[in-house]
Structure 1
């Protein structure tokens, strides 16, 4: 993540849950971003769900052309991709991603805990 222009500290939602955000702007416009919900499990922060936009990266996603989607993780691996919208400006995608993770954190974490046989350790 060190190649993003802005990487604020993760926003801790609960003891074992946080949202990590990073983005880059050019002339005031968002050109790349990553917003990820994470869970502390087995000694490390594991991705739960991720939104991202990076039209220049190999395998990157250009949400302005192809639409916004959410990557869903299990056991540290991407297991599914959920289409969220049609084409959307990157700044709106960044806002949407942050809002969605905050509004649906309990649902995403509950699924993660079920998949990993965790007994409600998140304290949400």
Structure 2
């Protein structure tokens, strides 16, 4: 099965697997002397199988190198959130102070998008409005979009082999290498960042 293309124009661009069916994450970041001045983290949702189609339904980015770039240390985190039949919106969740290590922030953002993938799918499909409580307050999850096995098999037989997505641990190793630290330090620092659920975020630009 094809995966979405990683972000273009970054020093490092990778596809990262996820825990939700039909979702993967993509990550791009620049490297500059043990520093990451720019990054993007996206959640992609598979919307079709014949042909395979992916939509980027949530995005978190940081850019301190451009005058008009979004600097999370000045403006805070925001999540660009797509909707299938309506204009996209920005969600601004509250969060704890961000560490200077961009690698820790990237790891935290990839974990956040993965943990809340069902919510962003529901927003994209119009099942809930942005900022609304989840549809499953009892702890259940959104039923995955059903993909017929024959469709998937047919597509796999027609497509050239693709590079397998990275695991979260492999991404963490790349982030640690970029910042001259250890994967354990990246993982610990990411776990200390607290980001409020998207259902509690302020909605802007709706």
Question: TM-score, normalising length from structure 1?
Answer: 0.75
Match of 2:17 among 8, 11, 28: 11
Between the aligned partners of 1:8 and 1:38, the Cα distance in structure 2 is 13
Aligned structure 1 segments of 4 or more residues deviating by more than 4 angstroms? 12-15
**Whose Rg is larger?**
2
What value does the CA root-mean-square deviation take over the aligned residues?
2.9
Between the aligned partners of 2:94 and 2:103, the Cα distance in structure 1 is 15
Question: Would you tell me which structure has more helix in proportion to its own residues?
Answer: 2
2:124 matched to 1:112?
A: yes
Q: Compute the displacement of 1:79 (Å).
A: 2.1
Match of 2:43 among 37, 60, 71: 37
| 1:61-98 CA-partner distances (Å, limit 9, x unpaired) | 01122211111111385223324437633333312211
Structure 2 unmatched runs, 5+: 1-6, 128-142, 148-206
Contact 1:16 1:122 in 2 (8 A): no
Between the aligned partners of 2:120 and 2:60, the Cα distance in structure 1 is 13
Match of 1:73 among 82, 85, 89: 82
Structure 1 unmatched runs, 5+: none
Between the aligned partners of 2:112 and 2:77, the Cα distance in structure 1 is 12
| 1:1-47 CA-partner distances (Å, limit 9, x unpaired) | 32101112342545521111111121111111111111122553111
Match of 2:29 among 8, 23, 26: 23
Distance change >3 Å, CA 33–CA 122, structure 1 → 2: farther
Between the aligned partners of 2:122 and 2:37, the Cα distance in structure 1 is 32
Question: Would you tell me which structure has more strand in proportion to its own residues?
Answer: 1
